[in-house]
């Protein structure tokens, strides 16, 4: 047999040094029994009562869960499904019980599987967004931008066209300056377009700067939408808080719905509807911004505006040449201008053919990639089905393990409370036994003392009897 006093002191040290250990409840029960064994009844009774006081609320809360959810299996399966992203096998337990229950390795492994499944689903969701963005790019007017080589070639043709337009402007201005007489001034539109022609980008650096500016502008729009969405979220939170206040602080306490409360609730509904409209508009604008971001580059809105400037400027130049001819300007000058325009048109024709080739190549490459995407999407859809089935199976397994963990926790605290109650009874019984033994001991001592007294008096009585006849004979 070991030393119960030494063992009791070791358990006391454990309780003080590591009070959060899940072994503490059992250690306290054991220590109480050791105190009982060494006869420290007051300390043992106090410890058993402390255990009951500390863990009875936990047992009551676990019993309450059982009462509220008769179909425990369905309850825990639903618990796993609705809290998959942040699920903890101990989260269903009352706060006081969480420190004293340890997850089983199977539960931890199951949660790990669920986390891996959730990670796969998040990855698939991200891939879906990327696929959607790729489809927008490859089916939109800016598909050339998806292929760096083709984009560079297409940008180069645009740069050359811009340079040709600027060259046309310079040559026309020079040839017109050679006219000896002073013809009527050029149309104002031509003068305005001349300034736009000078601003046309003619180098890769200028194109990159313009793309960067366009992307930054779209990013600022996205940031502005994010700010508006955050404001909508804050307003939504205020609406929720106001409704909770009305339900909890007014309706629940007074039980009366006044006209002011009805008016406030109607206003909340109106604001809620406005928020939903606001959010729908934000979502629509966000889609438009996302689409605009995919088309930044060659063929975008700026590129189309440049093409319009070039075409209109060339058309006005031709009209200006016809006007100069009508004013009797030397045919030699107008002929030189027309020859220049003819040569520029020839170069533009070659550039247009090159652009057509680039467009065809971009379309072909886009179709090839889209076909591969469609094949991958079909495979991913099959994997999604398999993953969903695995997720459902894992959820059911975790639900079962969680139920088993709950049952084990409930059993632990039921036994703990029973043992603490039994400990209190044992202390009372030990006190009774000690008292009974003490009474028996005292009774035995009293009887023994009486026996001693009786024996002593018996000897006296016998001596008295022996002396009495002698005295009577005399």
pLDDT in tens, 141-161: 778 888 889 988 988 998 999
Asked if residues 58 and 416 have their Cβ atoms less than 8 Å apart, the reply is: no
DSSP H or E run through 278 = helix 259-294
Q: How confident is the model at residue 457 (pLDDT cuts 50, 70, 90)?
A: confident
pLDDT in tens, 76-122: 777 776 665 555 555 566 666 665 555 567 667 777 777 787 788 88
Distance, CA of 396 to CA of 390 (rounded, Å) = 10
Distance, CA of 111 to CA of 399 (rounded, Å) = 10
Looking at residue 463, its pLDDT comes to 65
Of the candidates 21, 19, 47, 23, the residue with the CA atom closest to the CA atom of residue 33:
47
Span between the terminal Cα atoms of the chain, in Å: 73
| Domain locations in the chain as residue ranges | 436-474
451: its two tokens: 């026996």
Q: How confident is the model at residue 70 (pLDDT cuts 50, 70, 90)?
A: confident
Distance, CA of 316 to CA of 187 (rounded, Å) = 9
166: its two tokens: 């600027």
**Distances from the Cα of 270 to the Cαs of 97, 243, 263, in angstroms?**
45, 13, 11
Mean pLDDT of 44-58: 80
pLDDT in tens, 358-367: 989 999 999 9
Angle at 49 between CA 45 and CA 51, to 5 degrees: 120
Looking at residue 20, its pLDDT comes to 59
Query: How high is the mean pLDDT of the chain?
Result: 79
Percent of the chain with pLDDT over 90: 8
Whether the per-residue pLDDT at 195 is higher than 50: the answer is yes
**DSSP secondary structure, 302-345, as one string:** HHHHHHHHHHHHHHHHHHHHHHHHHTT--HHHHHHHHHHHHHHH
Whether the per-residue pLDDT at 178 is higher than 90: the answer is no
pLDDT in tens, 403-446: 777 777 778 788 888 888 888 888 888 888 878 888 888 888 88
DSSP, collapsed to helix, strand or coil, labels residue 361 as helix
Looking at residue 353, its pLDDT comes to 92
Highest mean pLDDT among 132-136, 177-181, 322-326: 132-136
Looking at residue 91, its pLDDT comes to 58
209: its two tokens: 């700067």
Looking at residue 331, its pLDDT comes to 75
Looking at residue 319, its pLDDT comes to 82
pLDDT in tens, 316-357: 888 877 877 777 666 777 787 788 888 888 888 898 899 899
């Amino acid at each position: 047999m070991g030393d119960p006093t030494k063992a009791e002191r070791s358990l006391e040290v454990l309780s003080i040094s590591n009070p959060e250990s899940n072994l503490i409840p059992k250690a306290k029960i054991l220590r109480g029994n050791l105190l009982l064994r060494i006869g420290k009844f007051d300390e043992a009774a106090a410890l058993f009562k402390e255990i009951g006081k500390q863990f009875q609320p936990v047992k009551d809360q676990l019993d309450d869960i059982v009462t509220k959810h008769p179909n425990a299996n369905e309850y825990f399966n639903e618990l796993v499904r609705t809290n998959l992203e942040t699920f903890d096998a101990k989260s269903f337990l009352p706060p006081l019980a969480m420190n004293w229950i340890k997850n089983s390795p199977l539960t931890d492994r199951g949660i790990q599987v669920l986390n891996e499944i959730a990670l796969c689903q998040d990855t698939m969701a991200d891939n879906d967004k990327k696929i959607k963005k790729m489809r927008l790019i490859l089916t939109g007017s800016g598909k050339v931008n998806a292929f760096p080589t083709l984009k560079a070639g297409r940008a180069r043709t645009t740069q050359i066209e811009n340079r040709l337009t600027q060259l046309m402007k310079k040559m026309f201005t020079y040839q017109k300056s050679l006219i000896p007489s002073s013809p009527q001034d050029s149309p104002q539109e031509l003068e305005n377009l001349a300034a736009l022609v000078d601003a046309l980008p003619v180098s890769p650096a200028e194109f990159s700067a313009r793309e960067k500016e366009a992307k930054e502008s779209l990013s600022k729009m996205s940031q502005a939408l994010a700010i508006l969405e955050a404001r909508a979220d804050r307003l939504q939170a205020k609406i929720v808080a106001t409704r909770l206040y009305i339900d909890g602080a007014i309706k629940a306490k007074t039980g009366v719905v006044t006209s002011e409360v009805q008016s406030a609730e109607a206003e909340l509904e109106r604001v809620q509807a406005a928020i939903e409209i606001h959010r729908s508009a934000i979502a629509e604008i966000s889609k438009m911004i996302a689409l605009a971001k995919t088309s930044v580059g060659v063929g975008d809105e700026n590129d189309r505006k440049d093409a319009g400037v070039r075409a209109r400027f060339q058309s006005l130049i031709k009209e200006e040449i016809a006007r100069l001819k009508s004013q009797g300007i030397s045919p030699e000058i107008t002929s030189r201008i027309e020859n220049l325009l003819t040569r520029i048109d020839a170069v533009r024709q070659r550039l247009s053919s090159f652009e057509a080739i680039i467009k065809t190549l971009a379309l072909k490459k886009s179709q090839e990639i889209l076909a591969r995407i469609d094949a991958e999407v079909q495979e991913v859809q099959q994997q999604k089905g398999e993953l969903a089935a695995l997720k459902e199976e894992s959820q059911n397994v975790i639900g079962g393990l969680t139920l088993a963990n709950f049952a084990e926790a409930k059993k632990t605290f039921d036994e703990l409370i029973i043992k603490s109650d039994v400990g209190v009874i044992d202390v009372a019984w030990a006190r009774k036994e000690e008292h009974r033994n003490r009474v028996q001991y005292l009774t035995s001592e009293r009887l023994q003392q009486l026996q001693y007294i009786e024996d002593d008096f018996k000897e006296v009585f016998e001596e008295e009897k022996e002396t009495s006849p002698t005295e009577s004979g005399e």
